[in-house]
Amino acid sequence: MCADRPKHPTLKATFAERAKGASHPLSNYLLRLMELKQSNLCLSADVTSARELLHLADKVGPSIVVLKTHYDILAGWDYHPQTGTGAKLGSLARKHGFLIFEDRKFGDIGHTVQMQYTGGTARIIDWAHIVNVNMVPGKAAVQGLAEAAAKWRSRVNYEVKTSVSVGTPFPMSSTRRMEPRTTRATGISVQGRWLRQVPTNGTTTVEKEALPPYERGLLILAQMSSTGNFMNEEYTQACVEAAREHKDFVMGFVSQENLNSSPTDSFLHMTPGCQLPPEGEEENGAVMGDGLGQNYNTPAKLVGLCGTDIIIVGRGIIKAGDPQAEAKRYRDRAWTAYQKRTSQ
């Protein structure tokens, strides 16, 4: 865990600085959103019903920048493309400002993963901004998903914008005016294509922002937090090579540490297996596992020592007595660790 790698410049750069050089439009969007919301938290919404998922996303949305889903474990998922669960998640993403990450872990030959991504009842590509791949079948799986996303994108009437908006990317033809809203937890309000950062002194700075790019992105599953997994150094290096070959589609990695090593690497890293000790207890690195192979570490260790960008938290928030308050606690701890890492 957290190998002794050379320190990469992205570890000290702020999210805003990294956004300027991001090669993937969604990475640019996400990095700027993180800076605006002052959050590097992803909620792993591992609940058992679509109703629970939507309720949780609405309550915790102000504290997160990514919502991670497992649509195939949910009872009551509505597959209707316009009014179903995916569409409702998109509405909540626009309301609160987060991206949707379907943790599908595609792991088959290129042709098969293309069909799983774009077809079937779920049509994941239509509602999930980000998916991931288990690269055990080889680099062809990444190539297959990249080609599928390119074909899908070419069929959509869209206009690429490079600036940030709070909400889910959607075609210009389907744009509709949103009612003004304010999320107190983040100090961000949304009015159509306007995003406002509201300082605590009562004044308001307003920046006009366009719709985010209508794109899709991929994370490569390079490392896991479970005991005894088979993702060795050779496999992880192959993941890094595949990411470099598809920078127009691969945003980064699900990993346990920062894998940027080349001067041109600017990949994002999201890390599961994060848990805080009870309120008031000292953070001391490792936290007891779940008895089923999952190992836990604190935000301070994952962000500060291992160099991850976004912590992925599931049961630590979902099982809390007050998920909203607990999400804010995780967000605050992870953001503090990021500020210390970048010496802010």
189, part of any domain: no
Query: Contact 12/338 with Cβ under 8 angstroms?
Result: no
- Write the CB contacts of 255 (distance below 8 Å, at least 6 apart in sequence): 222, 223, 236, 269, 270, 271, 308
Quote the tokens at residue 110.
Answer: 């290129």
Lowest mean pLDDT among 129-143, 216-230, 262-276, 314-328: 216-230
Q: Are strands 296-297 and 286-287 parallel, antiparallel or unpaired?
A: antiparallel
Query: Contact 149/249 with Cβ under 8 angstroms?
Result: yes
258, part of any domain: yes
Instruction: Give the 3-state secondary structure of residue 258.
Output: coil
Query: Contact 117/124 with Cβ under 8 angstroms?
Result: yes
Q: What is the mean pLDDT of residues 282-294?
A: 51
Whole-angstrom distance, CA of residue 127 vs CA of residue 125 = 6
For position 250, which CATH number holds? 3.20.20.70
Lowest mean pLDDT among 22-26, 41-45, 127-131, 171-175: 171-175
pLDDT higher than threshold 60 for residue 164: no
Q: What is the mean pLDDT of residues 221-225?
A: 92
Place of tokens 């993702």: 231
228: phi then psi, degrees, rounded to nearest 5: 80, 15
Whole-angstrom distance, CA of residue 129 vs CA of residue 35 = 19
Q: What is the mean pLDDT of residues 264-291?
A: 76
Quote the tokens at residue 313.
Answer: 């938290």
199, part of any domain: no
131: phi then psi, degrees, rounded to nearest 5: -130, 175
Residue 105 is among the residues annotated as catalytic for this protein: yes
238, part of any domain: yes
117, part of any domain: yes
1, part of any domain: no
Instruction: Give the 3-state secondary structure of residue 181.
Output: strand
209, part of any domain: no
Query: Contact 235/263 with Cβ under 8 angstroms?
Result: no
pLDDT digits (tens, 9 = 90+) for 10-68: 999 999 999 999 989 999 999 999 999 999 999 999 999 999 999 999 999 999 999 99
Range of the domain at 61: 9-169+214-341
Which pLDDT band holds residue 174 (cuts at 50, 70, 90)? very low
Q: Average model confidence (pLDDT) for the chain?
A: 84
pLDDT higher than threshold 80 for residue 313: yes
Query: Contact 42/331 with Cβ under 8 angstroms?
Result: no
3-state secondary structure 17-42: HHHHCCCCHHHHHHHHHHHHHCCCEE
- Give percent of the chain above pLDDT 90: 71
190, part of any domain: no
Which pLDDT band holds residue 250 (cuts at 50, 70, 90)? very high
Which pLDDT band holds residue 311 (cuts at 50, 70, 90)? very high
Element (H, E) at 236: helix 233-245
pLDDT higher than threshold 90 for residue 169: no
Quote the tokens at residue 41.
Answer: 């938290």
* Residue 136: CB atoms within 10 Å: 14
Burial category of 289 from C-beta neighbours within 10 Å (exposed 0-12, middle 13-18, buried 19 and up): middle
Look at residue 162 in the predicted model and tell me its pLDDT: 42
Give the count of domains, the chain.
Answer: 1
- Name the catalytic one among 105, 151, 208, 319: 105
Look at residue 320 in the predicted model and tell me its pLDDT: 95
Q: What string of DSSP letters covers 123-134?
A: -HHHH-SEEEE-
pLDDT higher than threshold 60 for residue 293: no
Look at residue 5 in the predicted model and tell me its pLDDT: 66
pLDDT higher than threshold 90 for residue 236: yes
pLDDT digits (tens, 9 = 90+) for 54-71: 999 999 999 999 999 999
pLDDT digits (tens, 9 = 90+) for 177-196: 333 333 333 344 333 333 44
Q: What angle do CA 115, 121, 125 make, to 5 degrees?
A: 55
pTM as predicted: 0.84
Q: State the number of CA atoms in the 13 A half-sphere of 106 facing the CB.
A: 32
Whole-angstrom distance, CA of residue 41 vs CA of residue 195 = 20
Lowest mean pLDDT among 110-119, 132-141, 281-290: 281-290
